Amino acid sequence: MIFLIMIGANIFGYFMTMSRVPNHVVEGVMAMNLNRWVIVIGITIVYFLISMVMDEIPLLLITLPLTFPLITSVGFDPIWFGVLSIMMVAMGLVFPPVGMIAFVVSATAKVDLVTVYRGTSIMIIAIFIATVLVMIFPELALWLPRTMRG
């Protein structure tokens, strides 16, 4: 199943490249003259909402061909955006109404879903605070990669 999703995402990415859709999206958003933080906040909200109902790998494989050129064109670091998008996807995977990880924990531990959601509420708050901190202080996400590069 994962292999089929990756094949479909690869075909989708090829189609996006050949049809120049990411370039048109970048041009359209740049023509709106939006602040770059409005763009990032919009993308993170969309990632969070979609990740509540979609698994993380297909979500990233399908959306990154559109969002990555947009983020880099407004001047954000690609590594920072990668960390930010993974944080949003992680929060969406445990957040109600779907929260796929919550269902797995509920079935595995044989605990009702309300108890699982109650237990994950602290994690959701922590991920939200960490996401806000990474947005305010990008060095939190970029320190280790920059240190490794030398």
> Mind giving me the DSSP string for 21-66?
HHHHHHHHHHHTT--HHHHHHHHHHHHHHHHTTS-HHHHHHHHHHH
Q: Are 63 and 50 in contact (CB under 8 A)?
A: yes
Model pLDDT, residue 121: 87
Looking at per-residue pLDDT, the higher value among 115 and 20 belongs to 115
The proportion of the chain whose per-residue pLDDT surpasses 90, expressed as a percent, equals 31
Kindly report, residue by residue over 48-71, the tens digit of the pLDDT.
888 887 778 888 888 888 899 889
Phi and psi angles of residue 22, each rounded to the nearest 5 degrees, phi first: -60, -35
Task: Write down the pTM of the prediction.
Answer: 0.78
